[in-house]
Amino acid sequence: MKVTILQANRHMWGTIAVTRTVGGRYRLYEFLASGDTGEVWQALDLGTDRTVAVKMLYPDLADDPRLVDRFQRARTGLTVLWHPSIARLLDVVVEDGVLALVSDLVPGMDLARRLAKSGPLDAATASAVAASVADALSAAHQVGIVHGDVKPSNVVVPAAGNGPARVTDFSVSLLVRAGRRHPEPFERLRYRAPEATDGAVPAPPSDVYAFGTMLGEMLPGDPPARLRMIADECVRTDPGVRPSATEVCQELRTLAARLETSPMGLTPSRAALGGPPGPPSRGQRVRRPRGSAWLFGSPTRMAVIFAVALAMVLGAFAATRALWGPAGETGAGEPTGVPAAAPGGAASSAGSNAPPLPAGAAAHTREGGIEFVRHWFDMLTHAQQTGDTTDLAAITSADCADCRGVTDTIKSAYDSGGSLRGGAYLVRGVTTNSLFTLDRPIYEATIDRGPRATLDRTGVERASLAGLTVASCQVILEWRDGGWRLLSVPTPGCVA
């Protein structure tokens, strides 16, 4: 239900005068919706005389200077993201305790409300909508932008003939969540990829996983097998084997074109609409229901299924014995069923290989320092994942206090038989300023860090560290003994 701005006393901004403007040019006049991070208003852009959408972030977010800084730094990258299936971010407004995001106003109904109102889409419509969303994600991923919150409420579906579905709120959730620890709505958790749940920085495969979950919710009860297969491929546990958004888009475009003229794209069936089902065309295969009669009606089929199930059980048992070892093989005092960890995290680091130093990082140049900064954060991620800090210490100055702190944290976790989960670093970019000198090079690294959990030997979480998104970290290097070493990371919280 839409309300005019004169009725806004029901919302967070209290009674707002009709002439209230944001950023000196966006006049709010109609409330549209509210969500996890703020309220969306329809507004008039006084500079262009066009109608736009203005998302007013909640006051507790707008008062966070770090969040404001992240949005201002991300503004340039997000405003250049133009695509027919993306609701463009036009402006970021910061003024007097207000943080507002101005974007295209997309006519239509968001997919969450449409599914709640009318149920699953027919196969042809689901393919077309999903293809538009995949196309938008593909365009963003190609320029290094991750959405981070793909879900039905962030997809607007216009009326038939009014253009493609469009995706809203690119990277908004990632920027808001960075550095914050608070319960998230169940709706969002449904679409979170397993690696993101484990603390990894959201990446394109994470968007693909969320997309696949959403696609599964869009489908009717008996979708074409290829459409169901696409959804299943997108939600595979291993992010490395999920298809890219580009590959998914191409498949869905082809499938949507076929379904536009195919009876398979119609849901509900003709019988459900009140008419008798039409006779199958010549050569058309008649699909028969596969219930219990299909399973138990064939001894051969039952034998094959039983053999597959038995093989899976035996394989799982063998894998379990290989992982944990038979009872009695653990050391004295070790509880059975808990893998024994060698001192210093050796069990975790055994057989692991540290990332090699890139050739470019060995050069005593500005560019060599940039490559080294990227390599150092890769080494920090490796140390957290394996418990082996030897290689990290070799390229880090003993004078770096924050570095000692994170090294001590890693050693403490693994020495006690526990481990660290998550905390991976992703370097978005490394820059220098006009005062750069090779004598004492100072770099500005823009990083993401996944949330990190410290687990004890039984797998119980004992401590946690919030993640970072688009965080700016100052990094100081030194050139010693023919190679780079990290001297200091003076920005608080970047290395912890």
Q: Where are the domains of the chain?
A: 3-64+89-104, 109-265, 343-488
pLDDT at 52: 93
Q: Which of 146, 52, 136 is nearest to 102 (CA)?
A: 52
Quick one: fold of 109-265? Answer: Transferase(Phosphotransferase); domain 1 (1.10.510)
Q: How confident is the model at residue 424 (pLDDT cuts 50, 70, 90)?
A: confident
pLDDT at 447: 87
* pLDDT single digits (tens) 26-45: 999 999 888 778 899 999 99
**What is the pTM (predicted TM-score) of this model?**
0.55
* pLDDT single digits (tens) 300-317: 556 666 666 766 766 665
pLDDT at 9: 39
Percent of the chain whose pLDDT exceeds 90: 34
- Residue 453 tokens read as 């959990």
> Which CATH code for domain 343-488?
3.10.450
The Cα–Cα gap between 120 and 127 comes to 12
Q: Look at residue 137 and tell me whether its pLDDT is greater than 70.
A: yes
> Which CATH code for domain 3-64+89-104?
3.30.200.20
Q: What is the mean pLDDT of residues 196-212?
A: 87
pLDDT at 304: 62
Listed in sequence order, the residues at least 6 apart from 325 whose beta carbon sits closer than 8 Å to its beta carbon are: 339, 340
pLDDT greater at residue 273 or residue 392? 392
Q: How confident is the model at residue 464 (pLDDT cuts 50, 70, 90)?
A: confident
Percent of the chain whose pLDDT exceeds 70: 75
Query: What phi-psi label fits residue 422: left (phi over 0), alpha (psi between -120 and 50 degrees) or beta?
Result: left
Three-state DSSP at 430 gives strand
pLDDT at 402: 86
Q: How confident is the model at residue 251 (pLDDT cuts 50, 70, 90)?
A: very high
pLDDT at 69: 83
Domain 3-64+89-104 and domain 109-265, same fold? Reply is no
- Residue 107 tokens read as 């006519």
pLDDT at 159: 84
Q: Look at residue 214 and tell me whether its pLDDT is greater than 70.
A: yes
Q: Look at residue 342 and tell me whether its pLDDT is greater than 80.
A: no
Query: Mean pLDDT, the chain, as a whole number?
Result: 78
